[in-house]
Amino acid sequence: MSARTTPPFRADHVGSLLRPPALKQAREDAARGAITLGDLRAAEDDAIRDAIKMQEDIGLRSVTDGEFRRASWHMDFIYEIAGVQKAGQAMKSVFHNEGGDIEFTPSGIRVTGKLGMDHTIFGSAFEFVRDNVTSGTPKLTIPAPSLVHYRGGPAAIDQGVYPDIDEFWADLGAAYADEVRRLGDIGCTYLQLDDTSLAYLNDPAQRAEFARRGEDAEHQHETYIRSINRALRDRPEGMSVTTHLCRGNFRSSWVAQGGYEFVADALFNELNVDGFFMEFDDERSGGFAPLRFVPPGKYVVLGLVTSKKGELEAKDDLKRRIEEASKFVNIDQLCLSPQCGFSSTLDGNSLSREQQVAKLRLVVEVAGEVWGTLSSPLRRLRRGNAPSGIVLRLADRGLLGRMRGIWGARGAWEPEGEQDGEDGEAGCPPERDVEPGDQVPVVRGDGTGQDDREDGGAERAADLLGCPGATSRWSCRPPSPASCQAAALPRRTCAPGSSATSRCGPTRSTGARMSAARSTWTRFPLTCCRCRST
């Protein structure tokens, strides 16, 4: 595990920031004609330069313009798509908070012509960030194509233009693909598609609303996933793409609730993005169990720090939640961020700019303590540098933190003879950081999963690193060239009570490592190779 050099980063953020009071005033002045649009642009430029400096100063690797040139995180973009117009009738959304409900009524949309891109939407806004960053990676956020449909549904699409809904989806995908290509041409290497629909559809109430308007609520998320994949079909080489799932974010209020279970399998395994920004800041977000569907090679940015309240989270609480999430997906596939942006509209959430900065700094500090300092202690485990005749005891998946002193002093060096496992699984050496060419100990055993020990043998780490999909760490036995295909095996889901063949020997899926009835094998890389019922 280590800091990441490509997006998503270990410490990241969604994108929007609280608008400075001077910028809000400039917008109001421009709206009533007291200043020119050029004056407003200059005020935006100044505010964005300050925002860029703030993000870089606290150590964020991704840098946005805070969405300072927008009134809304999504509608400003959608209205610029060729073929889309503002509707005369406003849309109504009801948001909830601890004090009650509030209504948000932006202008609606209507598709009145063939969809397309006649210019690069937000292109100049991105170029400004690109030209002003000094150390960070400029990131652009745009709404996912599904939002063009979600807001109005079939009723918002002129049937004379699109009598066949498949033609609508084809043109929308082509328009977005053109936008992605254009953004690549101007140097965008970090693109985020913000999507509320895939989060909303986890809520039974939202699916019921879809059913009332005559749509297939049980499969709508799959249609939306395909629409995003069409948008990304020709994405430029070197462009990292993430998506952010949100249940609503307006003046510290929300719309939908419910965990990710309903969409998780299709979301993680079918959506062709590199990472997922996901809300996990309160009970309405559900638990981490859906992360068991995350395949190797994809990343989840845990939105554990709320952007809706100013109270600062405790570091230990965040670390414990990261540990909990790591029971379902390898900790090396996790990152940290606030749960949403701080100002999805001009209004912003109910916290101060100082509290906003403190939360972003907290994300950077916790990510550094969890991921940025993990590799150095492991260097002591290289052959010839590790204490003789000892191994690390594996208590549970939390070893990734405890052995490195992050979550406390638990986990210890113990004599080889005291090594054991749990739930019928043999005790195995921990994951180890190695470099190409390093000699690494090999675990030998009789194949039963019992009494596996380091026998002093060695294999070169290059054998491991040459395997497709492998990392620089190994568990139990480094894969040899003959078993390179094992390195790319996905996690298998084994029903509780079934048995599995693992690289440590046979074991039974009891779910005891996680919480009751969890059945996905995540304890070690390469552990679950085949499941069979018993």
Neighbours of 187 (CB within 10 A): 14
* Residue 361 pLDDT: 97
Handedness of CA 152, 155, 159, 160 (dihedral sign): negative
CA–CA separation, 242 vs 236, rounded Å? 14
At 28-76, the pLDDT tens digits run 999 999 999 999 999 999 999 999 999 999 999 999 999 999 988 788 8
> Residue 414: what pLDDT?
25
Res 383 pLDDT > 70: no
Given the DSSP bridges, would you call strands 100-104 and 93-97 parallel, antiparallel or unpaired?
Answer: antiparallel
> Can you give the length of the chain in residues?
534
Helix and strand element counts for the chain (H, E):
16, 19
Cβ contact 461:437 at 8 Å: yes
474: its two tokens = 């190994």
Q: What is the pLDDT of residue 422?
A: 34
Residues contacting residue 70 through CB under 8 Å, at least 6 positions apart:
76, 77
Query: How does DSSP classify residue 224?
Result: H
Among 113-122, 182-191, 338-347, 521-530, the minimum mean pLDDT is found in 521-530
| C-alpha span between 97 and 102 (Å, rounded) | 8
Tell me if the domain spanning 21-372 has CATH number 2.60.40.10.
no
**pLDDT score, position 256:** 64
Look at 100 and 130; give whichever has higher pLDDT.
130
Residue linked to tokens 């009134």: 71
Q: Is the pLDDT of residue 178 over 70?
A: yes
Give the Cα separation of 212 and 317 in Å (integer): 41
Q: Within 10 A of 405 (CB to CB), how many other CB atoms are there?
A: 13
Please give the pLDDT value at position 193.
Answer: 96
493 vs 146, higher pLDDT: 146
- pLDDT, tens only, 189-236: 999 999 988 888 888 888 888 888 888 889 999 999 999 999 999 999
The share of the chain scoring above pLDDT 90, in percent, equals 48
Convert the pLDDT of each residue in 495-506 to its tens digit: 555 444 433 333
Q: 0.85 cut: is pTM over it?
A: no
| Among the listed residues 260, 244, 341, 322, the one whose alpha carbon sits nearest the alpha carbon of residue 294 | 260
* Average pLDDT estimate for 171-177: 97
Of residues 115 and 2, more confidently modeled: 115
Of 249-258, 325-334, 493-502, where does mean pLDDT reach its minimum? 493-502
Given this model, what pLDDT does residue 442 score?
38
Contacts of 29 (CB under 8 A, 6+ apart): 35, 39, 40
Q: Which two tokens stand for residue 291?
A: 């992360």
Tokens, residue 161:
């233009």
Residue 132 CB contacts under 8 Å (≥ 6 apart), including other chains? 48, 49, 52
Structure tokens of 486?
């094992």
Residue spans per domain, the chain: 21-372, 375-532
The amino acid at 496: P
Question: pLDDT band for position 379 (50/70/90)?
Answer: very low
Task: Indicate whether 162 pLDDT > 90.
Answer: yes
Q: What is the mean pLDDT of residues 259-272?
A: 93
The answer to whether 359 touches 312, Cβ cutoff 8 Å, is yes
Q: How far apart are CA 148 and CA 142, in angstroms?
A: 12
Here the tokens at position 311 are: 């109270």
Q: Which of 396, 276, 424, 278 is nearest to 327 (CA)?
A: 396
- Neighbouring residues of 210: CB distance < 8 A, sequence distance ≥ 6: 153, 201, 216, 217, 220
Q: Identify whether the C-beta of residue 352 lies closer than 8 Å to the C-beta of residue 20.
A: no
Closest C-alpha to 307, from 46, 73, 8, 71? 73
> Which of 235, 217, 218, 209 is CA-nearest to residue 140?
235
Give CA–CA dist 15/122, Å, rounded.
Answer: 14
Task: Report yes or no: 279 and 303 within 8 Å, Cβ to Cβ.
Answer: yes
Cα distance between residue 115 and residue 149, in whole Å: 12
Q: What is the mean pLDDT of residues 260-286?
A: 91
The span from the CA of 244 to the CA of 127, in Å, is 22
CA atoms within 13 A on the CB side of 112: 10
Neighbours of 380 (CB within 10 A): 10
Name residue, tokens 């029903």. 495
Average pLDDT over residues 382-387: 30
Q: Which residue in 170, 161, 180, 164 sits closest to 114, CA to CA?
A: 161
DSSP state of 403: T
Burial class (CB in 10 A: 0-12, 13-18, 19+), 532: exposed
pLDDT at 248: 64
pLDDT digits (tens, 9 = 90+) for 239-252: 999 999 887 665 55
- Strands (DSSP E) found in 196-264: 240-245
**String of b and e for 426-441 (b: at least 16 CB within 10 Å)?**
bbbbbbbbbeeebebb
**pLDDT tens digits, one per residue of 413-439:** 222 233 333 333 333 334 445 445 444
